[in-house]
Structure 1
Amino acid sequence: MCFMVCNETRWEPSMSNIQPGFRQSNAWLHTWSGIMVGWLLYLIFLLGALSFFRTEINTWAQPELAQIETQTSSQAWQSAWAFLQQKAPNSPEWNIELPNERNPAVNVRWFDEGERPSRRGGHRAILDPATGEQLHPRETRLGDFLYRMHFELYGVPRHAARWFIGIATMAMFIGLITGIIIHKKIFKDFFTFRQNKGQRSWLDMHNVSSVLALPFHLMITFSGLLLLIFTLMPWGLQTAFNGDVGEYFEAMGGRGGKTISETLTLPTTIMDASSRIEQIDVLMGIAETKWPRGVDSLQINNSRRAMQISLRQQGANSLLNRARGETLLFDINKSELSLINSDPEIGFWRAFYNSFTALHLLHYADALSRWLFFLGGLLGTMMIGTGLLLWVEKRRQKAEKTGEWKRMFRLVQILNVGTIAGLPLAITFAFWANRLLPVELAQRELWEIRIFFITWFASLVYSFIRSNRQAWVEQLALLSGLLLLLPVFNLITLPRYSVLSMSFDAVLIVMGLLAASGCKSLVKHGKSSILPVSRKNSLMRSMS
């Protein structure tokens, strides 16, 4: 697949009887559907790849949590219970998120007396699972910011941002389909990579990154469109539910579909329990026996009208219900114990939507699945980046000799440097800001985001005032240095170097070496273009 690279054919129907062929028409569509939104797609794929480790980035960004020792679920929830009993004994609802392999801390939430529990309301705290002591790690939103940025942008009205992302995603899907159509040797190119062949090597890299992860690219793009379907195609909702997505999902029984409740035999140990904490202890034992992956969270409703204890399963059993786990519910007033699960009788289209969107979100996945999706996202980022570079290279000689495309050519050069090198540079500066900003700084989490955008803007301005080659070399050199120095800084300054820190820093080192390799290649060849030219096999001759 040759994203944004293949020759486009220009024609004037009124001046010529020669009509372009099917593949030529698709080549033109492939090129221009890519170049118009290529930089936004690069952002979507790069930040989307990082979002598969959203929780890990948040944990890495709070190194104070590395001091926490691993505890059993029983110890963790009992510590949280003791904290909430002291902090908010009259709260109508408590929520306890237990530690897991991705987050070592206990996260609790409670509401003020008389406050109506809601999704975004209440008070939150992070606890040590061993002691129940409230922790105060540095304020940060790095992982959440990168996650939301990849599908809602930042500082843009939510509805408008989703339209921008939706249009870019549709262009990506068109690029993938047309790329398959125009690619004559798709299976051969799966195994083809010619080293030291100048531009031909870059084209091969573009093809390999496209074909190697083609199923992933198709799945992640199509599922992204499904997630935005109520924005891009709202007419059904507007007609049936007055545009209220929440009302639609409520009518459907939730985002995962309708649920069914199975009444279980109530153990006598629960009835004999003398306190609420003993009842929860019995329920935890039942849940851990039923769910091998354990309990994800607890919700304790203290309302007199509906005194309930619910335990939620960690992980999921099926994609058909959008990877929604089971819930064990104990109704204290009615003395009833029930298991809530998704209705197995689900329609085809609902199952289709649930499965694809669950694959895109990947909330249920283990570490191996997240790593595979992360690599797929990086291959997609590489595919888009090399496509943008090759678009410039294909037109470089014509722009230099005839002046045709000159202004657009220069604009694309600036945007390429400012996005392909500038966006990773902005992310790296945000990582450094997380480590260097004072912990007590007011609005600290916002300053991390501000530094991200300041760096990105500076990269674009720098690309404008410097020559193309200078901008590439200097920004890649800076990126490489910052990426390689950050693990050293972590090793020296962190009080405890956790497994998460080692894994994170290993990725930084690999990315730093790749940036250094690109910088070295540019210095060695010394051309004005970003791509080294091979005398024996130039891209122009190979595509002529």
Structure 2
Amino acid sequence: MKDGLRQSMAWLHTWTGLLAGWILFLVFCTGAASYYKDEITLWMKPEVHQSMTRQVTPAAATAAAVAFLEQRAPRSDRWFIDLPGEREPTLRTMWAPPPADPAKAGEARPRRARLANATLDPATGEELAAARATRGGEFLYRMHFDLHYMPVIWSRWIVGICAMFMLVAILSGIVTHKRIFKDFFTFRPAKGQRSWLDAHNASAVLALPYHLMITYTGIVTLMFLYMPWGVKAVYQDERDKFFTELRQSVPPDPKASRIPAALTALPPLLAQATTAWGDGSVGRIIVNHPRQTNAMVAFYRRDGKDIAVDQPAMVFDGVTGALISPPEPKAAPAAHTQGVMIGLHAARFSSPALRALFFIAGLAGCAMVATGLVLWAVKERQKFAKALARGGRVSFGLRLVDGLNLGAIAGVPIAIAAYFWSNRLLPVGLAERPAMEAAWFFGAWGAAAVLALVRPTRRMWQVLLGAGGVLFAGLPVLNAVTTESHLAYSLSHGLLQVAGFDLVVLALGIGLLFAAKRMGSPRVKKEVKEPEVKQSKPVLARGAA
């Protein structure tokens, strides 16, 4: 602290931002895309676009889903039914695969155990078998905090530590920049380090409340992972009991009875939930232990009514149809607070305009992290100006940072675009198709990262940014060539989700191409200031009075 508070905060801001910046750029990019994960998933299943124009009542969709699940998953312990909505017009079903040994039915499954799923035509109840298998926007959403190819716990610890670094960087940056709001209205292009600093300040201040909120709520979302001691001191190893008591809205799920019993009709129960919440308010139905004597049916209110992510539920007996849980249970204050924090982070409550604002703020976060990383390299390179002028080279550390910057800032957009391209180019019936789409993501990113580390030059910046721009801008063309849901068709038939995806990726592609063009422009020479001529004071003649 001998250099003063502001200088100490500048050092802290620099290094916390740099050490976590590359992972944070990935987190911001995939997090911004996650606001539209439902629309992304819909675009990545072009076979269901034709059924989007058909209207069907929630009761008919519920009956169709139950009939399908009774035939497809009669031994499953849990069914999930997602009813059609504005953002997801298809009828989605999921179910837990039955265990190989019925005696082990009550045992916990691994965290990454996949639920089987099927997309249905809500009008006919038939499975859209031709729909290609894909994780869609869920892959980018999970990448945001679970990463990939590593245990979930490790991933969340890595992302959580980076988020803590991010919060420190934001707070120290506020202290460091005493003219932060004044600098927001100042941008001097083609001025080298000054331009990068202006861009960093503008992108940071533009969405400063969002950056503080999204970072803090992201950490709080997983607070029981990072700070488990309070729960462990009271509940020891019974963590599930803690979460059951925390969320009192839904009764605890008993073990399967394995005694057959007929499942009650769900449409009448849906009518009761609709009466309590309003038309179109039920978003998800979960059936525990279907076709057994202790079956329970839970109706969850659709996201968007409250900020809290834990929406109210009505729970019925799955055999008699009797109401078990009231329609509007009062959540415990702690549970409601946690639900609000998660809701603010996920923004599921937002209207279309607010969701677009969250998306733009997320892009501003990407720009903030990217400009901060580049600014460090630009400032560090000035220390080697004399050595470079004599034909020398920069240090290994600076060259490594240049390569990592290029591999992250230009490589992540290439990876995301390649993921979308794989959805259209891979054969529809390919086995393990979702895994292959993920392999395209990491393959494209790995190739870009290798090129960036081998030649972290200005020319390579232009090449990789241009490649990302071409891939994004070419997606609407690829969509038109490979499917019938081209931009003109989607606009004329009211498929706004599909058309919106094409228009957004086109705009992103144009932006990356513009950045590549700017990187290809010649460097602006520094203006040489002429030395000021000091005017000497007039010399008085000797003897003058």
Same fold judged by TM-score > 0.5? Answer: yes
Q: Against the structure 1 CA distance between its residues 92 and 463, is the aligned structure 2 distance closer, same or farther, given a 3 Å change threshold?
A: closer
Q: Aligned runs of 1:462-477 on 2, under 5 Å? A: 462-477=451-466
Q: Which residue of 2 aligns with 1:3?
A: none
1:208 Cα deviation from its structure 2 partner: 1.1
d(CA) in 2 for partners of 1:143, 1:56: 8
Check if 1:412 corresponds to 2:401: yes
CA distance in 2, matches of 1:104, 1:484: 26
Q: Which runs of 5+ in 2 are unaligned?
A: 252-261, 530-545
| 2:37 aligned partner | 54
Identify the residue that residue 523 of structure 1 maps to in structure 2: 520
Amino acid at match of 1:421: A
Tell me which amino acid in the other structure corresponds to 1:238: K
CA contact (8 A) 1:295 1:313 kept: yes
CA apart distance, 1:138: 1.1
Counterpart selection for 2:118 from 119, 125, 129: 125
Tell me the SS of whatever aligns to 1:323.
coil
Shift of 1:518: 1.1
Q: Distance in 2 between matches of 1:324 and 1:446?
A: 30
Provide Cα deviations, 1:357-400, integer angstroms capped at 9, x if missing partner: 22112334333332222111111110000011111111213224
Q: Which moved more, 1:226-235 or 1:279-288?
A: 279-288
The answer as to 2:27 corresponding to 1:30 is no
Aligned counterpart for 1:95 among listed residues 67, 71, 80: 80
Q: Which residue of 2 aligns with 1:272?
A: none
What residue is the counterpart of 2:298 in the other structure?
310
**Distance apart, 1:109 and its partner CA:** 3.6
Q: Does 1:535 align with 2:527?
A: yes
Say if 2:282 is the partner of 1:295. yes
In structure 1, the residue corresponding to 2:521 is in which secondary structure? helix
* Equivalent in 61, 74, 92 of residue 76 of structure 1: 61
1:442 partner SS:
coil
Query: Using the alignment, how far apart are the partners of 1:445 and 1:132 within structure 2?
Result: 24
Alpha-carbon distance change, 376 to 341 in structure 1, aligned in 2, over 3 angstroms: farther
CA distance 1:457–1:95, change in 2 (3 Å): closer
Are 1:473 and 1:522, in contact at CA under 8 Å, matched by a contact in 2?
A: yes
Q: Is the 8 A contact 1:65 1:104 kept in 2?
A: no
8 Å CA contact retained: 1:30, 1:178: yes
| Alignment partner of 1:397 is 2:382 | yes
The alpha carbon displacement at 1:242 in A equals: 2.9
From the superposition, tell whether residues 327 and 464 of structure 1 become closer, same or farther in structure 2 (CA, over 3 Å): closer
Asked whether the 8 Å contact 1:93–1:303 carries over to 2, the reply is no
Q: Which residue of 2 aligns with 1:271?
A: none
Looking at structure 2, the residues matched to 451 and 38 of structure 1 have their Cα atoms a distance apart, in angstroms, of 24
1:237 corresponds in structure 2 to 231
SS in 2 for 1:219: helix
Cα separation, partners in 2 of 1:514 and 1:447, compared to 1, 3 Å: same
Distance of aligned partners of 1:302 and 1:162 in 2 relative to their CA distance in 1, 3 Å threshold: closer
- Cα 1:432–1:334 shift into 2, 3 Å: closer
Q: CA deviation at 1:94?
A: 4.1
> Aligned-pair distance for 1:303?
4.0
Distance in 2 of aligned mates of 1:173 and 1:109: 37
- Greater displacement, 485-494 / 425-434: 485-494
**CA–CA separation in structure 2 for the residues paired with 1:534 and 1:105:** 58
Instruction: Please give the alpha-carbon distance, in whole angstroms, between the structure 2 residues aligned to 1:108 and 1:345.
Output: 28
Would you say the 8 A contact 1:60–1:501 is kept in 2? yes
Tell me if the contact between 2:309 and 2:342 (Cα under 8 Å) persists in the aligned partners. Answer: no
For 2:504, the equivalent position in structure 1 comes to 507
Instruction: Number of aligned residue pairs: give it.
Output: 494
CA contact (8 A) 2:316 2:322 kept: yes
Cα pair 1:199 1:534 within 8 Å, conserved:
no
- Distance (whole Å) between structure 2 residues aligned to residue 334 and residue 223 of structure 1: 41
Which residue of structure 2 lines up, in the alignment, with residue 4 of structure 1?
none
User: Residue type of the partner of 2:166?
Assistant: M
User: Which of the pair has more CA radius of gyration?
Assistant: 2
Query: CA 1:71 to 1:231, structure 2 compared with 1: closer, same or farther past 3 Å?
Result: same
Q: Distance in 1 between matches of 2:354 and 2:12?
A: 34
Could you say which residue in structure 2 is the equivalent of 1:259?
249
Distance in 1 (alpha carbons) for counterparts of 2:69 and 2:227: 44
- Cα gap change, 1:518 to 1:289, in 2 (>3 Å): same
Post-superposition CA distance 1:330-351 (Å, at most 9, x none): 336566335535654744x554
Q: Deviations over 1:95-117 (max 9, x none)?
A: 32211122222122456596848
Task: Tell me the alpha carbon deviations over residues 67-86 of structure 1, each in whole angstroms, 9 at most, x when there is no partner.
Answer: 21332223322322333454
Equivalent position of 1:478 in the other structure: 467
The 1:249–1:418 alpha-carbon spacing in structure 2 relative to 1, beyond 3 Å, is same
SS in 1 for 2:181: coil
Measure, in 1, the Cα distance between the counterparts of 2:153 and 2:223. Answer: 12
Task: Check whether the contact 2:263–2:291 (CA below 8 A) recurs between aligned residues.
Answer: no
Task: Output the CA distance in 2 between the equivalents of 1:91 and 1:35.
Answer: 48
- Contact 1:49/1:378 (CA < 8 Å) preserved in 2? yes
Cα distance in structure 1, aligned partners of 2:418 and 2:369: 23
Residues of 1 paired with 2:134 and 2:117: CA distance?
14
Matched AA of 1:411 = L
- State whether residues 273 and 299 of structure 2, in contact with CA within 8 Å, keep that contact through their aligned partners in structure 1: yes
Give % identity: 38
Given that 1:209 and 1:380 are in contact with CA atoms closer than 8 Å, whether structure 2 keeps it comes out as: yes
1:134 to 127, 131, 136: 127
The equivalent position to 2:339 in structure 1, one of 325, 349, 354, is: 354
Judged with a 3 Å threshold, the aligned counterparts in structure 2 of structure 1 residues 67 and 42 are, in CA distance, closer, same or farther, namely: same
For residues 484 and 343 of structure 1, do their structure 2 counterparts lie closer, same or farther at Cα, with a shift above 3 Å needed?
same
SS of the residue 2:84 aligns to = coil
| Bigger mean CA deviation after superposition, 43-52 or 76-85 | 76-85
Task: Give SS of 2:180's match.
Answer: coil
2:416 matches 1:424: no
Does structure 1 residue 434 correspond to structure 2 residue 423? yes
Alignment check: 8 A CA contact 1:112 1:122 kept: no
AA at the equivalent of 1:520: K
Which ranges in structure 1 are unaligned for 5 or more consecutive residues? 1-10, 12-18, 262-274, 538-544
d(CA) in 2 for partners of 1:169 and 1:243?
Answer: 27
Shift of the alpha carbon at 1:243?
Answer: 5.3
Q: How does 1:182-201 map to 2 (within 5 A)?
A: 182-201=176-195
Q: Is the 8 A contact 1:80 1:96 kept in 2?
A: yes
Q: Which has the higher mean CA deviation after the structures are superposed, 42-51 or 184-193?
A: 184-193
State whether structure 2 residue 266 is matched by structure 1 residue 283.
Answer: no
Tell me the distance in 1 between the aligned counterparts of 2:59 and 2:209: 42
**Counterpart code for 2:123:** A
Deviations 1:199-253 (A, max 9, x none): 433322211110110000001101111123223222223322335543321232x
Task: Evaluate the alpha carbon distance shift between residue 86 and residue 227 of structure 1 in structure 2; reply closer, same or farther with a 3 A threshold.
Answer: closer
